[in-house]
Amino acid sequence: MAGMFAIIQTGGKQYKVSEKDTIRIEKVPASERSQSTVIFREVLLVSDGANTVRLGTPVVAGASVTGTIIRDAKAKKVRVVKYKPKTRYKKEVGHRQLFTEVRIDKITV
């Protein structure tokens, strides 16, 4: 069986994480980080990989996931095109989303 894993919520999205995983999440603001670590307190589910599963209502009490911030960067450019036929209207905009890459260090129950 697989090892311990948890489901966390951050940036309006949910991620299934295990220790030593690397994930890309929405940019973590400076107010939520301490040095180069970040603590996720919105843990929705924790499992030891065998039989024990703790499901939160909505979060698991006392559970947290600690991670180390690897880097902050921008994703690849996404082109957004607006076009209306027969009116000579075309608008093109580019967008690069900010993200934070985090390595999961410890899952605490």
- pLDDT of 1 reads 43
pLDDT tens, residue by residue, 50-91: 788 888 888 888 899 999 999 999 999 999 999 999 999 999
Residue % of the chain over a pLDDT of 70? 98
Question: DSSP E strands: which ranges in 30-88?
Answer: 33-34, 37-40, 43-47, 53-55, 64-74, 78-84
Task: Give the three-class secondary structure for 25.
Answer: strand
User: pLDDT-based confidence at 29, cuts 50/70/90?
Assistant: confident
What token pair was written down for 42?
């919105």
3-state DSSP percent of the chain in helix, strand and coil, to 5: 5, 60, 35
- pLDDT of 28 reads 87
Look at residue 30 in the predicted model and tell me its pLDDT.
Answer: 84
Average pLDDT score over the chain? 90
**pLDDT value for 2:** 61
- For the chain, the structural domain boundaries read 5-108
When pLDDT is averaged across residues 4-14 and rounded to a whole number, the result is 91
